[in-house]
Amino acid sequence: STASRQSLRIGLIPADGIGREVIPAAKEAIIALGSDIPKPEFVDLIAGWECFTRTGVALPEETVDALKNDCDCALFGSVSSPSRRVVGYSSPIVALRKEMDLYANIRPVMSVYPSQKPSIDLIVVRENTECLYVKQETQQQGEHGREARATRLITERASRRIGQMAFELAHARPRKHLTIIHKSNVLSVTDGLFRETVRGVPLLPEVNGKYNDVEIAEQLVDSAVYRLFREPEVFDVMVAPNLYGDILSDAAAALVGSLGLIPSVNAGDNFVMGEPVHGSAPDIAGKGIANPLASIRSAALMLRRLGYIKGADRLDLAVDQVIREGEILTPDLHGKSTTQEVLAAVLKNL
């Protein structure tokens, strides 16, 4: 649909907390790209916890319909979740990934400064639709008190397509190295299926030898975390089931400094949605000091996947320059500047 329209229609879902501060900043950055993007048009959409408390639904049908019928891509902010279970509420981002079939979450993590040692330049490719996130939990009274159980679903189909996405990314990078993350020494059936299926991707007839140049490694998730902290430079692309991917990407984020810097995209075969890795940050929400760089980078990732390479490169360069100069940064990066001031610095570099 992107090609058939004269404009690029971008759904904006700021949702909760600092999402409302950083998504508008990303919008401004996209607008500033000018003719590198064919007439961006923005569609304001609602979802989240505040939406739930106001309307009774966390993800309104109109939001999903608009994304499906009226948008080429989207930017999502962050949702706050209640700490206790609330009847009727479940995370709209999980539902959205399912509705739009965004089966991959792609999170590049890079050293902030080129001179930083050890140098980190990796991508975590996280399966986005299954694993423990199917949220089938039960609780019953056992002989010695309550017993709670959760179902973990791993399918061949989901493992194969996330594997294909990961191989494609690894194939396109200079190092062409893919690490499959699992815990099949304990979960031999579920993680065994994941590992075996991903390993089988290069052998698929339709792949036709394309990924033969990708070097494949494997690592148990616990030792992968250890290794990530000891020698992060060994990793290039990492592919993992949902929960391990979640933990790994937050851990990797810690290595490069602030969560306020790490972008992601949720990608499927037909839609892409940028989303900063950080949450709604209730501790700083509304203060005007949230770091907008993760969201601007998420916009760049989204544009890159849509093929707007020049626009994506310009955004990334503008962000890198702000970080490197180190003058205008938000408090999470030990600066004194506001969201608006950091945005202005990015716009100036554009």
Query: Which residues form the catalytic set?
Result: 133, 183, 222, 246, 250
Torsion angle (degrees, nearest 10) of CA 209, 305, 263, 256: 40
Residues contacting ligand ATP: total by CB under 6 A = 18
- Tell which one of 61, 143, 206, 283 touches ligand ATP (CB under 6 A): 283
Q: Which one, of 296, 297, 349, 241, lies nearest residue 109 by Cα?
A: 297
- Tell which one of 9, 195, 278, 304 touches ligand ATP (CB under 6 A): 278
Report yes or no: 194 and 186 within 8 Å, Cβ to Cβ: no
For ligand ATP, the closer of residues 124 and 201 by Cβ is 124
Asked if 60 interacts with Mg ion (CB under 5 A), we say: no
Q: Considering only the stretches 74-82, 171-179, 194-202, 265-273, report the one whose residues sit in contact with ligand ATP under the rule CB under 6 A.
A: 74-82
For ligand ATP, the closer of residues 29 and 166 by Cβ is 29
Please report, as residue ranges, which positions from 159 to 188 form the binding site for Mg ion (by CB under 5 A): none
For 250, residues 6+ apart whose C-beta sits below 8 A from its C-beta are 259, 277
Report yes or no: 276 and 262 within 8 Å, Cβ to Cβ: yes
CB of 275 to Mg ion, least distance (A): 12
What whole-number distance in Å separates Cα of residue 300 and Cα of residue 320? 12
Please report, as residue ranges, which positions from 223 to 282 form the binding site for Mg ion (by CB under 5 A): 279
Report yes or no: 106 and 237 within 8 Å, Cβ to Cβ: no
What whole-number distance in Å separates Cα of residue 56 and Cα of residue 336? 38
- Tell which one of 192, 200, 279, 335 touches ligand ATP (CB under 6 A): 279
Which pairs with CB-CB distance under 8 Å and at least 24 residues apart come from 220-228? 220/181, 220/182, 220/183, 220/184, 220/185, 221/181, 221/182, 221/183, 221/247, 221/248, 222/183, 224/179, 224/181, 224/248, 225/251, 228/252, 228/255
Please report, as residue ranges, which positions from 279 to 298 form the binding site for Mg ion (by CB under 5 A): 279
From ligand ATP, Mg ion, none, interface partner of 283 (C-beta below 5 to 8 A by class) = ligand ATP
Residues contacting Mg ion: total by CB under 5 A = 1
From Mg ion, ligand ATP, none, interface partner of 80 (C-beta below 5 to 8 A by class) = ligand ATP
For ligand ATP, the closer of residues 192 and 331 by Cβ is 331
For 349, residues 6+ apart whose C-beta sits below 8 A from its C-beta are 317, 318, 321, 322
For ligand ATP, the closer of residues 93 and 166 by Cβ is 93
Q: Could you give the string, one character per residue 315-334, with x where binding to ligand ATP holds by CB under 6 A and - elsewhere? A: ---------------x-x--
Phi/psi at 291 (5° precision): -75, 120
What whole-number distance in Å separates Cα of residue 313 and Cα of residue 297? 10
For Mg ion, the closer of residues 250 and 320 by Cβ is 250
What whole-number distance in Å separates Cα of residue 271 and Cα of residue 73? 6
Position closest to ligand ATP via CB: 279
CB of 26 to ligand ATP, least distance (A): 11
- Tell which one of 294, 296, 322, 329 touches ligand ATP (CB under 6 A): 294
Asked if 338 interacts with ligand ATP (CB under 6 A), we say: no
**What does the DSSP assignment read for 208-226?**
TTTTTT-EEEEEEHHHHHH
Q: Considering only the stretches 5-13, 36-44, 120-128, 275-283, report the one whose residues sit in contact with ligand ATP under the rule CB under 6 A.
A: 275-283
Q: Which one, of 151, 122, 119, lies nearest residue 134 by Cα?
A: 151
Asked if 291 interacts with ligand ATP (CB under 6 A), we say: yes
Site residues (vs ligand ATP, CB under 6 A): 18, 22, 78, 80-81, 259-260, 278-281, 283-284, 290-291, 294, 330, 332
| Contacting residues toward Mg ion, per CB under 5 A | 279
